[in-house]
Structure formats: structure tokens, C-alpha cells
């Protein structure tokens, strides 16, 4: 028999209208918005440290879109940042792509607020934006409990509006943002 803590009681689409990304999430999970950087977290129980996080940073100061040629420098920067995490161990790493985005996937453990944490970190670059997505559990066993749900949320992530893929028409007052136009090119 499965773990009752991972029971999903319906699904709902999260759509971010600022940076125009969307993904499916469990209906019975809690939601909290992130302010700096802009984003959202969905978490199954009272402790939001075990949850699925998505944040977006516009690196527009680069005056150019991030390309495949930038990947080595981006990798070095992420590795440098991971080295700053207390007791960080990289369990696996790989280059990834999603739609037109390029990026990296790391499975790590580290100390967060004096507790051991396990996180699958995916960092994607699209245009001039960095999308940071991760499923995380404190203690690490919590990550293992919810790993499949975290992966599902990541796999359903789309740069754009999932509702359009389903044939749901746009609201009459909707005006596509630059983020929307960028992802449709």
C-alpha cells in the first residue's frame, strides 16, 4: 500500500502571469508566493521547507539572451554557489534542456537551518531569464517521500500557459507580455 502522505486529491494548474510559465500541482498542497526573487512554493504539509519551489530572475542586464555558448560559465557559477552551501554534497549532476531552455540538474544534500536537506535543483535559462526549480525535503527522507510528485510538477512545467494547450481561450482582457511573446518565437 502507498504512503497516504503522497495522496493527491486532485490537480490544478499554476500559471504565473508575470513570467508566463505554468505547471500542474496537487490541489491539496499549500501555496506561498516568493517575493525576491519572484516565484511560488507548493508544499504538502505545515513545513514549507519540504516542497516544490519555482523562482525566476531576469538577468536582463546582460543585454543579450543566454545561449548554449554561455553554458560553461553558467555551470561554473552554479558550482561556485553550491560550494558556499554548508556541508554540500553533489550526488549527481547533468546538463538538461526543456523546450528551448538550457540548464543543469543537480541532486544535492546540504545543511539548511541546522538540518540536513536533500534537493533536486534544476536551473534553466531561457532568453534573459533564470528559472530555478527544486523539490526539497528536510530531513532527506522527506525528499524521498515526495520525490515522484516533485518530478511530476517539474515534468509538467511549460514556458507558456498550459490552459492554451488544453484549448481554454484567453480571458478577453489578456494582453500577452514580452515573456509570452519570447516563448512563442
**What CATH code is carried by the domain that includes residue 50?**
3.40.1000.10
Q: Among the residues of the chain, which ranges form H helices?
A: 71-83, 140-156, 162-165, 178-184
- Per-residue pLDDT, 90: 98
- The SS3 call for residue 141 is helix
The total number of structural domains in the chain stands at 1
Assigned domain for 4 exists: no
Assigned domain for 51 exists: yes
Contacts 24+ apart (CB under 8 A), 147-150: 147/120, 148/6, 149/6, 149/8, 149/26, 149/44, 149/52, 150/52, 150/120
Q: Which domain holds residue 110?
A: 34-156
Assigned domain for 143 exists: yes
Assigned domain for 88 exists: yes
Above 70 in pLDDT, residue 120? yes
Give the pLDDT band (50/70/90) at residue 13.
Answer: very high
C-alpha grid cell for residue 71?
553554458
Assigned domain for 58 exists: yes
- Per-residue pLDDT, 183: 43
Q: What is the pLDDT of residues 23-48, one digit of tens each?
A: 999 999 999 999 889 999 999 999 99
CB proximity list for 131: less than 8 A, separation 6 or greater: 19, 21, 54, 55, 56, 101, 103, 123, 124, 125
Average model confidence (pLDDT) across the chain: 88
Assigned domain for 75 exists: yes
Assigned domain for 28 exists: no
CA max distance for the chain: 53
Whether 77 contacts 130, CB under 8 Å: no
C-alpha R_g of the chain? 17
Render the burial of 107-143: b for 16+ CB within 10 Å, e for the rest. Answer: bbbbebeeeebbbbbbbbbbbbbbbbbbbbbbeeebb
Above 80 in pLDDT, residue 171? no
pTM of the model: 0.86
Give the pLDDT band (50/70/90) at residue 65.
Answer: confident
Range in 67-71, 124-128, 155-159, 177-181 the model is least confident about: 177-181
Above 90 in pLDDT, residue 184? no
Above 50 in pLDDT, residue 91? yes
Above 70 in pLDDT, residue 169? no
Give the pLDDT band (50/70/90) at residue 185.
Answer: very low
Assigned domain for 162 exists: no
Amino acid at each position: 500500500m502507498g504512503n497516504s502522505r503522497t495522496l493527491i486529491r486532485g490537480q490544478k494548474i499554476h500559471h504565473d502571469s508575470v513570467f508566463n510559465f505554468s505547471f500542474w500541482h496537487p490541489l491539496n498542497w499549500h501555496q506561498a508566493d516568493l517575493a525576491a526573487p519572484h516565484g511560488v512554493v507548493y508544499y504538502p504539509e505545515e513545513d514549507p521547507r519540504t516542497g516544490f519551489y519555482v523562482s525566476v530572475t531576469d538577468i536582463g542586464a546582460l543585454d543579450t539572451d543566454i545561449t548554449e555558448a554561455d553554458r560553461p560559465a553558467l555551470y561554473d557559477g552554479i558550482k561556485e554557489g553550491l560550494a558556499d552551501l554548508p556541508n554540500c554534497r553533489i550526488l549527481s549532476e547533468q546538463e538538461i534542456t526543456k523546450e528551448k531552455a538550457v540548464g543543469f540538474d543537480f541532486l544535492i544534500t546540504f545543511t539548511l537551518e541546522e538540518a540536513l536537506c536533500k534537493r533536486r535543483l534544476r536551473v534553466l535559462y531561457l532568453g534573459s531569464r533564470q528559472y530555478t526549480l527544486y523539490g526539497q525535503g528536510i530531513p532527506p527522507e522527506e525528499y524521498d517521500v515526495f520525490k515522484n510528485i516533485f518530478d511530476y510538477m517539474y515534468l509538467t512545467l511549460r514556458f507558456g500557459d498550459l490552459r492554451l494547450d488544453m484549448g481554454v481561450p484567453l480571458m478577453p482582457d489578456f494582453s500577452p507580455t514580452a515573456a509570452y511573446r519570447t516563448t512563442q518565437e
